[in-house]
Structure 1
Amino acid sequence: MLNIPVQTDDGLQFVGVVSLILLITGLFLLAKSLEKYHGRIVLIAIIISIFAPSMIAGSYQRTFATGIYAVSYDRGLSNCGFDMINERTLHGECELTFDNYSRNDVGFTVEFYENKNDYPMVSLLNNNAPYEVKLKANARKHVKIESNIDVSNTENHIDNGSARNVDIIIKSGEKSRKL
Protein backbone atom coordinates (compact mmCIF):
# COMPACT_ATOMS: atom_id res chain seq x y z
CA MET A 1 0.00 0.00 0.00
CA LEU A 2 1.44 3.38 -1.03
CA ASN A 3 4.87 1.75 -1.67
CA ILE A 4 5.35 1.11 2.05
CA PRO A 5 6.55 -2.47 2.64
CA VAL A 6 4.28 -3.81 5.36
CA GLN A 7 4.88 -7.51 4.72
CA THR A 8 7.63 -9.39 2.87
CA ASP A 9 8.59 -13.03 2.49
CA ASP A 10 10.24 -12.82 5.92
CA GLY A 11 7.02 -11.74 7.65
CA LEU A 12 5.56 -8.52 9.00
CA GLN A 13 7.82 -5.45 8.81
CA PHE A 14 7.59 -3.37 11.98
CA VAL A 15 9.07 -0.25 10.36
CA GLY A 16 6.60 -0.49 7.46
CA VAL A 17 3.60 -0.88 9.79
CA VAL A 18 4.71 2.10 11.93
CA SER A 19 5.33 4.18 8.77
CA LEU A 20 1.85 3.37 7.46
CA ILE A 21 0.24 4.27 10.81
CA LEU A 22 2.18 7.56 10.89
CA LEU A 23 1.16 8.37 7.30
CA ILE A 24 -2.54 7.73 7.97
CA THR A 25 -2.40 9.68 11.24
CA GLY A 26 -0.62 12.56 9.51
CA LEU A 27 -3.19 12.66 6.70
CA PHE A 28 -6.04 12.60 9.23
CA LEU A 29 -4.52 15.44 11.25
CA LEU A 30 -3.83 17.41 8.06
CA ALA A 31 -7.48 17.07 7.00
CA LYS A 32 -8.70 18.12 10.47
CA SER A 33 -6.39 21.14 10.66
CA LEU A 34 -7.45 22.70 7.38
CA GLU A 35 -10.72 24.56 7.08
CA LYS A 36 -10.62 25.25 3.37
CA TYR A 37 -9.53 22.93 0.53
CA HIS A 38 -8.79 20.08 2.94
CA GLY A 39 -9.93 17.44 0.42
CA ARG A 40 -7.65 18.76 -2.32
CA ILE A 41 -4.64 19.12 -0.07
CA VAL A 42 -5.07 15.60 1.38
CA LEU A 43 -5.31 14.23 -2.16
CA ILE A 44 -2.12 16.08 -3.13
CA ALA A 45 -0.40 14.72 0.02
CA ILE A 46 -1.42 11.15 -0.92
CA ILE A 47 -0.11 11.61 -4.47
CA ILE A 48 3.18 12.99 -3.12
CA SER A 49 3.51 10.07 -0.68
CA ILE A 50 3.02 7.61 -3.56
CA PHE A 51 5.47 9.10 -6.06
CA ALA A 52 8.06 11.02 -4.03
CA PRO A 53 9.93 8.04 -2.45
CA SER A 54 10.68 6.33 -5.76
CA MET A 55 11.62 9.65 -7.39
CA ILE A 56 13.96 10.51 -4.52
CA ALA A 57 15.53 7.03 -4.57
CA GLY A 58 15.99 7.20 -8.35
CA SER A 59 17.55 10.66 -8.10
CA TYR A 60 19.92 9.47 -5.37
CA GLN A 61 20.91 6.45 -7.46
CA ARG A 62 21.59 8.58 -10.55
CA THR A 63 23.64 11.24 -8.74
CA PHE A 64 25.27 10.19 -5.46
CA ALA A 65 25.25 6.38 -5.25
CA THR A 66 28.40 4.33 -5.81
CA GLY A 67 29.19 0.66 -6.35
CA ILE A 68 26.25 -1.72 -6.57
CA TYR A 69 23.94 0.97 -5.20
CA ALA A 70 24.38 2.88 -8.49
CA VAL A 71 23.27 -0.18 -10.48
CA SER A 72 19.70 -0.32 -11.71
CA TYR A 73 18.12 -3.61 -12.83
CA ASP A 74 15.40 -3.49 -15.49
CA ARG A 75 13.20 -6.37 -14.32
CA GLY A 76 10.67 -5.81 -17.10
CA LEU A 77 13.24 -6.70 -19.76
CA SER A 78 14.56 -9.78 -17.95
CA ASN A 79 13.65 -13.29 -19.02
CA CYS A 80 14.90 -16.84 -18.63
CA GLY A 81 14.32 -19.98 -20.67
CA PHE A 82 14.91 -23.62 -19.75
CA ASP A 83 15.11 -26.78 -21.88
CA MET A 84 16.23 -30.32 -21.16
CA ILE A 85 19.33 -31.29 -23.16
CA ASN A 86 19.25 -34.92 -22.04
CA GLU A 87 17.82 -36.93 -19.13
CA ARG A 88 20.23 -35.44 -16.59
CA THR A 89 20.97 -31.93 -17.84
CA LEU A 90 18.79 -28.83 -17.94
CA HIS A 91 20.04 -25.89 -20.01
CA GLY A 92 19.13 -22.48 -18.59
CA GLU A 93 19.60 -19.17 -20.35
CA CYS A 94 18.78 -15.75 -18.89
CA GLU A 95 18.98 -12.25 -20.29
CA LEU A 96 19.21 -9.46 -17.74
CA THR A 97 19.50 -5.71 -18.31
CA PHE A 98 21.51 -3.42 -16.03
CA ASP A 99 22.28 0.30 -15.95
CA ASN A 100 25.34 1.66 -14.17
CA TYR A 101 24.82 5.30 -13.17
CA SER A 102 28.21 5.57 -11.47
CA ARG A 103 31.25 7.31 -12.94
CA ASN A 104 33.27 4.18 -12.16
CA ASP A 105 33.17 0.63 -13.49
CA VAL A 106 31.23 -1.72 -11.22
CA GLY A 107 31.70 -5.46 -10.78
CA PHE A 108 29.31 -7.75 -8.93
CA THR A 109 27.92 -11.27 -8.83
CA VAL A 110 24.39 -12.32 -9.66
CA GLU A 111 22.32 -14.98 -7.90
CA PHE A 112 18.70 -15.91 -8.47
CA TYR A 113 15.86 -16.39 -6.00
CA GLU A 114 12.21 -17.28 -6.03
CA ASN A 115 9.38 -16.03 -3.85
CA LYS A 116 8.09 -18.60 -1.36
CA ASN A 117 5.01 -19.43 -3.45
CA ASP A 118 6.83 -19.83 -6.77
CA TYR A 119 7.77 -23.21 -8.22
CA PRO A 120 11.59 -23.57 -8.17
CA MET A 121 12.82 -22.68 -11.64
CA VAL A 122 15.27 -19.77 -11.86
CA SER A 123 16.83 -20.68 -8.51
CA LEU A 124 18.13 -23.85 -10.21
CA LEU A 125 20.67 -21.57 -11.88
CA ASN A 126 22.30 -21.07 -8.47
CA ASN A 127 23.82 -24.56 -8.79
CA ASN A 128 26.54 -22.94 -10.93
CA ALA A 129 26.42 -19.48 -9.31
CA PRO A 130 27.73 -16.91 -8.70
CA TYR A 131 27.83 -15.27 -12.12
CA GLU A 132 30.27 -12.39 -12.54
CA VAL A 133 29.07 -9.17 -14.21
CA LYS A 134 31.16 -6.09 -15.01
CA LEU A 135 29.55 -2.81 -16.06
CA LYS A 136 31.40 0.12 -17.55
CA ALA A 137 30.86 3.59 -16.09
CA ASN A 138 27.58 5.24 -17.12
CA ALA A 139 26.62 2.30 -19.34
CA ARG A 140 23.66 0.03 -20.02
CA LYS A 141 24.40 -3.64 -20.57
CA HIS A 142 22.37 -6.68 -21.55
CA VAL A 143 23.89 -9.67 -19.77
CA LYS A 144 23.37 -13.21 -21.01
CA ILE A 145 23.82 -15.97 -18.46
CA GLU A 146 23.90 -19.58 -19.66
CA SER A 147 24.30 -22.69 -17.56
CA ASN A 148 23.94 -26.45 -17.85
CA ILE A 149 22.40 -27.73 -14.64
CA ASP A 150 22.69 -31.32 -13.42
CA VAL A 151 19.16 -32.22 -12.27
CA SER A 152 19.74 -35.95 -11.78
CA ASN A 153 19.49 -35.57 -7.98
CA THR A 154 16.64 -33.05 -8.07
CA GLU A 155 13.09 -34.29 -7.50
CA ASN A 156 10.23 -32.83 -9.55
CA HIS A 157 12.43 -30.54 -11.61
CA ILE A 158 11.11 -28.71 -14.65
CA ASP A 159 11.64 -30.11 -18.15
CA ASN A 160 11.27 -26.77 -19.89
CA GLY A 161 9.76 -23.37 -19.30
CA SER A 162 10.35 -19.67 -19.20
CA ALA A 163 10.20 -16.89 -16.65
CA ARG A 164 9.87 -13.12 -16.88
CA ASN A 165 10.48 -10.43 -14.26
CA VAL A 166 13.22 -12.51 -12.67
CA ASP A 167 14.18 -11.81 -9.04
CA ILE A 168 17.92 -11.52 -8.46
CA ILE A 169 20.45 -10.68 -5.77
CA ILE A 170 23.56 -8.72 -6.68
CA LYS A 171 26.60 -8.82 -4.38
CA SER A 172 29.91 -7.05 -4.21
CA GLY A 173 32.06 -7.92 -1.22
CA GLU A 174 29.93 -7.56 1.91
CA LYS A 175 27.29 -5.46 0.12
CA SER A 176 24.16 -7.10 -1.22
CA ARG A 177 20.92 -5.95 -2.90
CA LYS A 178 17.73 -7.89 -3.61
CA LEU A 179 16.25 -6.66 -6.88
Structure 2
Amino acid sequence: MIRSKVALISSVVILSICMCLFFPFPSNVMLEANTIFMSFPIRNQDGYILLGIIGSILFIIAMILLVIGMKKYHVRTIVIVIIVYSLLPNFLITMYQETLASGITAISYDSNGECDFEDAGEDLLNGECNLILHNRSNEAVSFELEFLDSFMEDDVRMGALMNLAGPYRITIESNHKKSIHLKKLLDLSEVPNHINGGTSSNVHIKIIDGDKTRTL
Protein backbone atom coordinates (compact mmCIF):
# COMPACT_ATOMS: atom_id res chain seq x y z
CA MET A 1 0.00 0.00 0.00
CA ILE A 2 2.92 2.34 0.72
CA ARG A 3 5.16 3.03 -2.26
CA SER A 4 7.52 5.63 -0.79
CA LYS A 5 7.93 6.42 2.91
CA VAL A 6 10.08 9.44 2.03
CA ALA A 7 7.27 10.94 -0.08
CA LEU A 8 4.69 10.30 2.67
CA ILE A 9 6.86 11.81 5.41
CA SER A 10 7.64 14.80 3.20
CA SER A 11 3.92 15.26 2.57
CA VAL A 12 3.15 15.25 6.31
CA VAL A 13 5.95 17.74 7.03
CA ILE A 14 4.79 20.12 4.29
CA LEU A 15 1.17 19.88 5.45
CA SER A 16 2.29 20.75 8.99
CA ILE A 17 4.12 23.79 7.66
CA CYS A 18 1.04 24.80 5.67
CA MET A 19 -1.17 24.58 8.75
CA CYS A 20 1.24 26.71 10.79
CA LEU A 21 1.39 29.44 8.14
CA PHE A 22 -2.18 30.62 8.73
CA PHE A 23 -3.28 28.92 11.93
CA PRO A 24 -6.55 30.66 12.98
CA PHE A 25 -5.53 31.46 16.56
CA PRO A 26 -5.45 33.61 18.63
CA SER A 27 -6.98 35.81 15.91
CA ASN A 28 -8.71 34.65 12.76
CA VAL A 29 -6.20 35.45 10.02
CA MET A 30 -8.75 34.76 7.28
CA LEU A 31 -11.07 37.68 8.00
CA GLU A 32 -9.51 40.11 5.52
CA ALA A 33 -9.41 37.61 2.65
CA ASN A 34 -11.90 37.72 -0.20
CA THR A 35 -10.26 34.85 -2.13
CA ILE A 36 -9.38 31.67 -0.25
CA PHE A 37 -7.89 28.29 -1.17
CA MET A 38 -8.23 25.71 1.62
CA SER A 39 -6.87 27.59 4.67
CA PHE A 40 -4.87 30.09 2.64
CA PRO A 41 -5.90 33.70 1.97
CA ILE A 42 -5.00 34.35 -1.66
CA ARG A 43 -6.25 37.89 -2.04
CA ASN A 44 -7.58 40.72 0.11
CA GLN A 45 -8.61 44.33 -0.47
CA ASP A 46 -4.94 45.27 -0.92
CA GLY A 47 -4.18 42.67 -3.58
CA TYR A 48 -2.60 39.23 -3.72
CA ILE A 49 -1.04 37.70 -0.61
CA LEU A 50 2.34 36.17 -1.44
CA LEU A 51 2.52 33.94 1.64
CA GLY A 52 -0.96 32.61 0.93
CA ILE A 53 0.02 31.77 -2.65
CA ILE A 54 3.18 30.03 -1.45
CA GLY A 55 1.12 28.06 1.08
CA SER A 56 -1.31 26.98 -1.64
CA ILE A 57 1.55 25.78 -3.82
CA LEU A 58 3.06 23.86 -0.90
CA PHE A 59 -0.32 22.26 -0.20
CA ILE A 60 -0.61 21.06 -3.80
CA ILE A 61 2.96 19.70 -3.65
CA ALA A 62 2.04 17.85 -0.44
CA MET A 63 -0.95 16.27 -2.18
CA ILE A 64 1.24 15.20 -5.11
CA LEU A 65 3.77 13.64 -2.72
CA LEU A 66 0.91 11.88 -0.95
CA VAL A 67 -0.19 10.30 -4.23
CA ILE A 68 3.40 9.35 -5.06
CA GLY A 69 3.80 7.73 -1.65
CA MET A 70 0.69 5.53 -1.97
CA LYS A 71 0.34 2.50 -4.24
CA LYS A 72 -3.47 2.71 -4.30
CA TYR A 73 -6.52 4.36 -2.71
CA HIS A 74 -5.26 7.73 -3.97
CA VAL A 75 -8.61 9.52 -4.17
CA ARG A 76 -9.85 8.11 -0.88
CA THR A 77 -6.65 9.10 0.92
CA ILE A 78 -6.69 12.64 -0.49
CA VAL A 79 -10.30 13.14 0.58
CA ILE A 80 -9.56 11.89 4.10
CA VAL A 81 -6.45 14.09 4.41
CA ILE A 82 -8.32 17.19 3.22
CA ILE A 83 -11.13 16.58 5.73
CA VAL A 84 -8.68 16.03 8.59
CA TYR A 85 -6.64 19.07 7.53
CA SER A 86 -9.79 21.22 7.57
CA LEU A 87 -11.04 20.01 10.95
CA LEU A 88 -7.77 19.63 12.88
CA PRO A 89 -7.14 23.36 13.63
CA ASN A 90 -10.54 23.82 15.29
CA PHE A 91 -10.03 20.61 17.26
CA LEU A 92 -6.59 21.73 18.47
CA ILE A 93 -7.90 25.18 19.39
CA THR A 94 -10.78 23.71 21.39
CA MET A 95 -8.43 21.34 23.20
CA TYR A 96 -6.12 24.22 24.10
CA GLN A 97 -8.96 26.49 25.24
CA GLU A 98 -10.44 23.81 27.47
CA THR A 99 -7.14 22.90 29.12
CA LEU A 100 -4.47 25.62 29.13
CA ALA A 101 -6.08 28.86 27.91
CA SER A 102 -7.09 31.69 30.24
CA GLY A 103 -8.63 35.14 29.81
CA ILE A 104 -9.77 36.11 26.34
CA THR A 105 -7.74 33.31 24.73
CA ALA A 106 -10.39 30.93 26.12
CA ILE A 107 -13.23 32.72 24.30
CA SER A 108 -14.58 31.12 21.14
CA TYR A 109 -17.02 32.53 18.59
CA ASP A 110 -18.82 30.66 15.82
CA SER A 111 -18.91 33.79 13.57
CA ASN A 112 -22.68 33.43 13.12
CA GLY A 113 -23.54 36.78 14.70
CA GLU A 114 -25.96 39.10 12.93
CA CYS A 115 -26.72 42.82 13.13
CA ASP A 116 -29.90 44.50 11.88
CA PHE A 117 -30.25 48.22 11.29
CA GLU A 118 -33.50 50.16 10.81
CA ASP A 119 -34.08 53.81 10.04
CA ALA A 120 -35.30 55.71 13.12
CA GLY A 121 -35.40 59.22 11.71
CA GLU A 122 -32.92 61.77 10.41
CA ASP A 123 -29.39 60.63 11.29
CA LEU A 124 -30.79 58.02 13.66
CA LEU A 125 -30.62 54.26 13.33
CA ASN A 126 -31.85 51.42 15.48
CA GLY A 127 -29.07 48.85 15.72
CA GLU A 128 -29.64 45.35 17.04
CA CYS A 129 -26.98 42.61 17.22
CA ASN A 130 -27.12 39.01 18.35
CA LEU A 131 -24.17 36.69 18.78
CA ILE A 132 -23.04 33.80 20.95
CA LEU A 133 -19.67 33.62 22.74
CA HIS A 134 -18.33 30.64 24.64
CA ASN A 135 -15.95 30.82 27.60
CA ARG A 136 -14.19 27.46 27.66
CA SER A 137 -12.02 28.14 30.71
CA ASN A 138 -12.68 27.37 34.37
CA GLU A 139 -12.73 31.05 35.35
CA ALA A 140 -15.03 33.94 34.53
CA VAL A 141 -13.69 36.21 31.78
CA SER A 142 -14.43 39.94 31.36
CA PHE A 143 -13.56 42.00 28.28
CA GLU A 144 -14.66 44.85 26.05
CA LEU A 145 -16.35 43.99 22.77
CA GLU A 146 -16.07 45.98 19.55
CA PHE A 147 -17.73 45.37 16.22
CA LEU A 148 -15.77 45.32 12.97
CA ASP A 149 -16.93 46.05 9.45
CA SER A 150 -16.77 43.21 6.98
CA PHE A 151 -13.86 43.49 4.60
CA MET A 152 -16.30 42.44 1.87
CA GLU A 153 -18.49 45.52 2.27
CA ASP A 154 -16.39 47.84 0.05
CA ASP A 155 -15.90 50.71 2.51
CA VAL A 156 -19.56 50.70 3.62
CA ARG A 157 -19.73 50.99 7.40
CA MET A 158 -22.27 48.66 8.89
CA GLY A 159 -21.29 46.40 11.80
CA ALA A 160 -18.88 48.95 13.27
CA LEU A 161 -21.71 51.47 13.60
CA MET A 162 -22.65 49.67 16.82
CA ASN A 163 -19.45 51.03 18.36
CA LEU A 164 -21.05 54.49 18.43
CA ALA A 165 -23.00 53.30 21.49
CA GLY A 166 -20.08 51.39 22.99
CA PRO A 167 -17.87 50.27 24.52
CA TYR A 168 -19.64 47.08 25.58
CA ARG A 169 -18.34 45.40 28.72
CA ILE A 170 -19.05 41.67 28.69
CA THR A 171 -18.55 39.06 31.41
CA ILE A 172 -18.96 35.35 30.73
CA GLU A 173 -18.99 32.81 33.53
CA SER A 174 -16.70 29.79 33.51
CA ASN A 175 -17.50 27.04 31.00
CA HIS A 176 -20.50 29.02 29.87
CA LYS A 177 -21.98 29.85 26.49
CA LYS A 178 -23.55 33.31 26.52
CA SER A 179 -26.08 34.72 24.08
CA ILE A 180 -25.37 38.43 23.69
CA HIS A 181 -28.18 40.72 22.59
CA LEU A 182 -27.47 44.42 22.06
CA LYS A 183 -30.06 46.97 20.95
CA LYS A 184 -29.06 50.62 20.67
CA LEU A 185 -30.25 53.88 19.14
CA LEU A 186 -27.33 55.16 17.08
CA ASP A 187 -26.63 58.82 16.36
CA LEU A 188 -25.11 59.03 12.87
CA SER A 189 -24.90 62.83 12.63
CA GLU A 190 -21.11 62.66 12.45
CA VAL A 191 -20.95 59.65 10.12
CA PRO A 192 -20.69 60.68 6.44
CA ASN A 193 -22.56 58.69 3.77
CA HIS A 194 -24.05 56.34 6.32
CA ILE A 195 -26.52 53.56 5.60
CA ASN A 196 -30.26 53.93 6.25
CA GLY A 197 -30.82 50.28 7.07
CA GLY A 198 -29.70 46.76 6.32
CA THR A 199 -28.45 43.49 7.73
CA SER A 200 -24.89 42.33 8.35
CA SER A 201 -24.39 38.57 8.71
CA ASN A 202 -21.38 36.66 10.04
CA VAL A 203 -20.27 39.81 11.85
CA HIS A 204 -16.65 40.14 12.92
CA ILE A 205 -15.73 41.30 16.41
CA LYS A 206 -12.72 42.31 18.46
CA ILE A 207 -12.45 41.43 22.13
CA ILE A 208 -10.10 43.47 24.33
CA ASP A 209 -8.66 42.89 27.78
CA GLY A 210 -6.07 45.53 28.65
CA ASP A 211 -3.30 45.31 26.07
CA LYS A 212 -4.50 41.94 24.79
CA THR A 213 -6.80 41.78 21.76
CA ARG A 214 -8.28 39.08 19.58
CA THR A 215 -10.07 39.47 16.24
CA LEU A 216 -12.81 36.89 15.70
Fold-level match, TM-score > 0.5?
yes
Asked if the contact 2:138/2:174 (under 8 Å) is kept, the reply is yes
Give the C-alpha shift of residue 88 in structure 1. 3.3
Q: Which runs of no fewer than 5 residues in structure 2 stay unpaired?
A: 1-36
Residues in 2 aligned to 1:88 and 1:58: alpha-carbon distance in whole angstroms = 43
The structure 2 residue matched to 1:57, chosen from 79, 93, 98, is 93
User: 2: CA distance between counterparts of 1:163 and 1:125?
Assistant: 11
Unaligned runs of 5+ in 1: none
Partner of 1:80: 115
User: Within 2, Cα distance between the matches of 1:65 and 1:93?
Assistant: 31
TM-score of the superposed pair, with normalisation by structure 2: 0.71
Is the 2:150–2:159 contact (alpha carbons within 8 Å) kept by the matching residues of 1? no
Name the counterpart of 1:90. Answer: 125
Contact 1:62–1:101 (Cα < 8 Å) also in 2: yes
The correspondence of residues 120-135 of structure 1 with structure 2, limited to 5 A, is 120-135=157-172
Contact 2:126 2:183 in 1 (8 A): yes
What is the match of residue 136 of structure 2?
A: 101
1:65, 1:140 → 2: CA distance?
16
Read off the aligned partner of 2:186 and give its amino acid letter: I
Q: Give SS of 1:75's match.
A: coil
**Equivalent residues in 2 for 1:134-149 (5 A)?**
134-149=171-186
**Partner residue in 1 for 2:83:** 47
Paired residue for 1:155? 192
CA contact (8 A) 1:111 1:129 kept: yes
Contact residue 9 and residue 115 of structure 1 kept, 8 A = no
1:32 pairs with 2:68: yes
The sequence identity of aligned pairs, in percent, is: 35
For this pair of structures, how many residues does the alignment match?
178
Alpha-carbon spacing, 1:170–1:89, altered in 2? closer, same or farther (3 Å)? same
Return the match for 2:145 from 89, 103, 110: 110
Alpha-carbon distance in structure 2 between the residues aligned to 1:37 and 1:84: 58
Aligned partners of 2:135 and 2:177 also within 8 Å: yes
Query: Post-superposition shift, 1:132?
Result: 0.8
TM-score by length of 1: 0.84
- Cα offset, 1:160, TM superposition: 2.7
Against the structure 1 CA distance between its residues 149 and 56, is the aligned structure 2 distance closer, same or farther, given a 3 Å change threshold?
same
Alignment RMSD, CA only? Answer: 2.3
